[in-house]
Amino acid sequence: MSKTLHKRSDFIKRSMLSALVFLKDATLSEEYANRKGFLQSLDPRIKTISLLAFLVTMISLKSAVLIGTLYGFCLILAFSSSIPIRHFLGRTLFFIPFFSLCIVLPTLFSTVTPGDPVCSFNVLGINGTLTRPGIDGALLFVVRIATSVSLVVLLSLTTRHSELLKVLRIFGIPYIFVLTVSMCYRYLYIFATMVENIFTAVKSRVGVVSHHRHGQNVVAWNIANTWNRTTQMSEEVYMAMLSRGYTGEPRLLSQFYATPKDWVWLLSSLIICAGLFYSGHIL
Amino acid sequence: MSNIIFELKDVHYSYMGKFPALCGIDMTIRSGEKIAVIGANGTGKSTLLQLLDGLIFPDQGNMTAFGERLLEHSHDDEKAAHRFRKRVGLVFQNADIQLFCPSVREDIAFGPLQLGVAEKEVKRRILEIAQVLDIQHLLDRVPHQLSIGEKRRVAIASVLAIDPDVYLFDEPTAGLDPLTVRHIIDFIVTANQRGKTIITATHDLHIIGEIADTVYVFGRNKRIVSGGSSESVLNDNPLLELNNLIHIHRHQHDGQEHVHKHLPLEEH
């Protein structure tokens, strides 16, 4: 068997398995949400409202310094919520802002954003001039993106996914929608595991190396098989729901309790937001 | 008799109208009884439990529950459906099907909440049941992170929270370690002592003596081939052998070959 064939068959397998691992890690890991920390101790509804307030305030700000200050505050929140700073920086400061910078790169130059020149250069006969408004605009954009991502990451890392879904209720999302999404989330893991097992079973029967066309067949079988099992399981789950009294109008347990600590935090957050808004107005 | 809970007369059921699952079942179940339905795979045990739970309905024959005929439209009325669901609870064989909520606590709460139990009372029941089944530490976990034994206990808790009069168990001990099997047997026995009716589908003959007074044997023809006290059925080796419930075991003792009948997983 040639190396090329091996690589091509491996490509399908590796792509599928990597996708499954990513799915499990990204959506099902609740490592930080289960830790003891400041944000974890807050009522998820209050936490969502306060972080949303920060997000809205941040969008209204036009000063990179103030937004940077808010980012610093996010770092303090991450630290007090037992999130390793290196992990937090990795998720908020490197990749997404880097890609944002790539997007705004043309706006740095005088051809897109005219203004006071900061420096000029000549590369392969092409002249370029960086302008002050261009740099300021790009900086504001990147800092804004990094801070927005930080606020969302803080919320998603410190809240269990099931609680996050239930928070949707405060925005008037119907119970049935919350229940359906919760169930989708619950069964993602089962189907991801099932697909993984099918791959292991195929590997145990046909060996590691197979022709890439066979690999494509395996993927097609997988899709068909998963579809069949999904349909079957959805019918059985519906039966299990009926068996426990479901008649089409779901009722869910409300588990959230706001304590004085939550209200103090919400008030403090609103005061900080007002302070930032005022500072942004006078700067 | 007034204490009859379920009465089935010549009940037939087939999947999609062409794959027969039950072919002429006659059965009477009275309040407080402890019944086991045994048979090889594919003999219709799980289908029977789904019929008794009002999830599917007979193609032919009559079936009554609590003195009323059980028909497909019987549960169209929400109040009638709730009345029935409060009295009958099914523990499914596959706990992953039964545990569809994002957390154990919500799964236990689901049944009583749908049946109109007040939230305060539901929360009290959750704590009480968690203590009884020793699952307090699992309440805030997500079901997919649990072991099979833990899932099975949570599945039982989700039905126990409804506090039905009739418990239907579908293979409650399949694939479990001996200690968890012991806990489940103890639970079934205790529930029966509290007056609950227990109907268990299983092919684990080791637990029959404890969990059932009456045993029905389902054959490959999807009919009841025998029924009687658990003692009489368990001692009827030809019947059990004919229905794939025991096997002939061949092994050696001190170099000499030895052949005898054997219950699945039996030690010797």
Task: Calculate how close chain A gets to B192, using CA atoms only, in Å.
Answer: 21
Residue B250: what pLDDT? 64
The verdict on a CB contact (< 8 Å) between A162 and B110 is no
Query: Is the per-residue pLDDT at B266 higher than 60?
Result: no
A169-189 core/surface letters (b: 16 or more CB in 10 A; e: else): beeeeeeeebbebbbebbbeb
| A217 in a structural domain | yes
Contact between residue B26 and residue B224 where contact means Cβ atoms under 8 Å apart: yes
Burial class (CB in 10 A: 0-12, 13-18, 19+), B8: buried
Q: Which helix (H) or strand (E) element contains residue A148?
A: helix A132-158
- Of the candidates A205, A189, A124, the one whose C-alpha atom is nearest the C-alpha of residue B145 is A189
pLDDT of res. A1: 45
Q: Which of B123, B144, B162 comes nearest A244 by C-beta?
A: B162
| Strand-pair partners of B68 | B65
Say whether A247 and B78 touch across the interface (CB within 8 A).
yes
| Confidence (pTM) | 0.77
Max intra-chain CA distance, chain A: 76
Residue B8 is which amino acid?
L
Write down the ipTM of this complex. 0.86
Selecting from A182, A243, A247 the residue whose C-beta is nearest the C-beta of B102 gives A182
One-letter amino acid of B31: S
Per-residue model confidence (pLDDT) at position B162: 95
pLDDT at B101 > cutoff 80: yes
Asked if A256 is an interface residue toward chain B (Cβ–Cβ < 8 A), one would say: no
Q: Of the candidates A182, A243, A254, which has its C-beta nearest B90's C-beta?
A: A243
Total beta-carbon pairs less than 8 A apart between chain A and chain B: 88
CB A162 within 8 A of CB A182: yes
Q: Is B170 on the interface with A (CB under 8 A)?
A: no
Q: Is residue A5 part of a domain?
A: no
Q: Does A242 reside within a domain?
A: yes
Give how far B194 is from chain A: nearest CA, Å.
21
Subunit contact A251:B114, Cβ cutoff 8 A: yes
Rounded to a whole number of angstroms, the distance between the first and last alpha carbons of chain A is 69
Inter-residue contact A219 to A16 (CB < 8 Å): yes
Give the tens place of pLDDT for each residue, A233-266. 889 999 999 999 998 888 888 777 789 999 999 9
CA nearest B202: which of B233, B179, B232? B233
d(CA B127, CA B139): 9
- Does the pLDDT value for residue B37 go beyond 70? yes
Alpha-carbon distance of B162 to A75, in angstroms, equals: 46
Is there a contact between B113 and A251 if contact means CB atoms under 8 Å apart?
Answer: yes
Name chain A contacts of B101, Cβ cutoff 8 Å.
182-183, 186
**Range of the structural domain that residue A193 is part of:** 22-252+265-282
Domains: count for chain A = 1
Residue A259 lies in a domain: no
Closest CA relative to residue A82, chosen from A46, A48, A31, A47:
A31
All structural domains of chain B: 33-49+78-245 (3.40.50.300)
Tell me, what's the pLDDT at A10?
63
Amino acid code (one letter) for B114: Q
- Which residues of chain B lie closer than 8 angstroms to A255, CB-CB? 105
| Site from A24, A28, A197, A244 to mutate, B interface, most B CB atoms within 10 angstroms | A244
- Is A2 part of a structural domain of the chain? no
Q: Which of A159-163, A171-175, B51-55 has the highest mean pLDDT?
A: B51-55
In this prediction, residues B92-99 reach a mean pLDDT of: 92
H/E stretch holding B182 reads: helix B178-193
Structure tokens at B51: 């019929």
Q: Is residue A129 part of a domain?
A: yes
Evaluate whether residue A140 is within a structural domain: yes
Listed by number, the residues of chain B in 109-128 with a beta carbon closer than 8 Å to a beta carbon of chain A are 109-111, 113-115, 119, 122-123
Q: What is the residue-averaged pLDDT of chain A?
A: 83
Residue A113 lies in a domain: yes
DSSP state of B262: E
Q: What is the mean pLDDT of chain B?
A: 88
